[in-house]
Amino acid sequence: MPTLNETHKISGHVNVGFEPVYEAFLSNFENELEAGAGFCVMRDGEFLVDLTGGTSDRKRTQPWKNDTIVQVFSSTKAIAALVIAWLVENGRLNYEQPIESIWPAFAAHGKGELTIAQIMSHQSGLSGITEPMDRNDWVRWDFICDRLASQKPIWEPGTASGYHPLTYGFLVGEIGRRADAQNRTLGTILREEICAPNQIDFHIGMPKSEFHRCADLHKPRAFADLGDINPATKAAFMEKWSSTAGIDVDAMRNAELPAANGHGTAKSLARLMQIAVDGKIGDRTYLGEHTLYEFSKPRISGPDLVLPFHLTFAAGIMINHPIYFYGPNQATLGHSGWGGSCTFADPIEGLSVGYVMNKQSNVLIGDPRPVKIIDALYSCL
């Protein structure tokens, strides 16, 4: 891609009329808010904006390239939700079916009648693991799934959302594996059914052959303000074993954590989120009109029990109202990741957007870096 700024190693292109997006992207580097980053916007199969900049390594010497991939943390959840929607479209799942119909052991402690949609909208009462374990257990799939199936809910299931930072991925991934005709993992379904046919560079479960392209992360110095700490918040974030910190980096990259360890580019996020705009990637249809409606409609809205926000969840993805971190349109569907990444689909404007970076902030949702660029984007429409 052509170089647009030598000082900050910014490359890419911006369609005529979208120059303010480039200026906003550049200003984050000029204000020393970024190490490396990418921002991409698609509409009607066309890239309106595709930018990369900065550096990818810890010493800040290697330029961020158009094929540099980075962990996007909870932005992964949006992509995992699309895989489940694909299974619904293909008749393998129904959002309204009870979880016990596909995962009988999950019925322990009265959880069996929870629907797939309720679990995907963070209503299961399992925001974290409550019994002691080792942090390295997060890369043991069956161990975590067994813990979740047998665990007593922290709050009454189906009565409120309580954000599931890590457990969401195991719940959704196990549902997907059990529903799939070949019992494939969620990352495998994503690769074989969506990414590979469309040459999309996004991975849940990174092959070791691609490790060399991964950007190093610059961690924040302080954790986010979670507000009042209650049992749901404590299980999600505050136990000694709540975090994956300290797990071998290569083991984390190679494992499948569909809530948190997707790796990709801004372009790959924008391309995948085209499915949430109109059900398609190019000329391939992944979601029909009915499934797209079921995927997108609100499932619960109110004060979240874990995050200090009023949140509205669809089936595995956030609805823009009332937070409005993803532009001005209420119907926009999006998700943010720890440190600042985000991706969203705006069906009103027909836009899909991806933002990735490796200098992490401690902002939970609505990092000012992408918000500034997104505001510039909408000023151009």
Report pLDDT digits (tens) over 7-50: 999 999 999 999 999 999 999 999 999 999 999 999 999 999 99
* Type of residue at 79: I
pLDDT of amino acid 225:
80
Please report which confidence band the pLDDT of residue 91 belongs to, taking 50, 70 and 90 as the band edges. Answer: very high
Residue pair 262/202 in contact (Cβ under 8 Å)? The answer is yes
Tokens of 242: 């709540």
pLDDT of amino acid 244:
94
Percent of the chain with pLDDT over 70: 100
CA distance 266 to 110: 41
Residues in the chain: 381
Tokens of 177: 């594996």
Q: Radius of gyration (Cα) for the chain, nearest Å?
A: 19
pLDDT of amino acid 224:
77
Query: Out of 153-167, 236-250, 346-360, which region has the weakest mean confidence (pLDDT)?
Result: 236-250
pLDDT of amino acid 149:
99
Report the number of distinct structural domains present in the chain.
Answer: 1
Q: Range of 375's domain?
A: 3-379
Quote the mean pLDDT of the chain. 97
pLDDT of amino acid 228:
85
202 to each of 199, 215, 351, how far by Cα in Å?
9, 14, 19
pLDDT of amino acid 105:
98
| In the block, residue with structure tokens 């067994």 | 146
pTM reported for the whole predicted model:
0.97
Please report which confidence band the pLDDT of residue 223 belongs to, taking 50, 70 and 90 as the band edges. Answer: confident
Vertex 34, ends 29 and 38: CA angle to 5°? Answer: 90
Q: Read off the CATH number of the domain in which 8 is found.
A: 3.40.710.10
CA distance 191 to 282: 17
Tokens of 114: 């929870």
The torsion angles phi and psi of 204, rounded to 5 degrees, stand at -110, 100
Residues near 180 by Cβ (< 8 Å), separated by ≥ 6? 87, 92, 189
Q: What is the DSSP letter of 215?
A: P
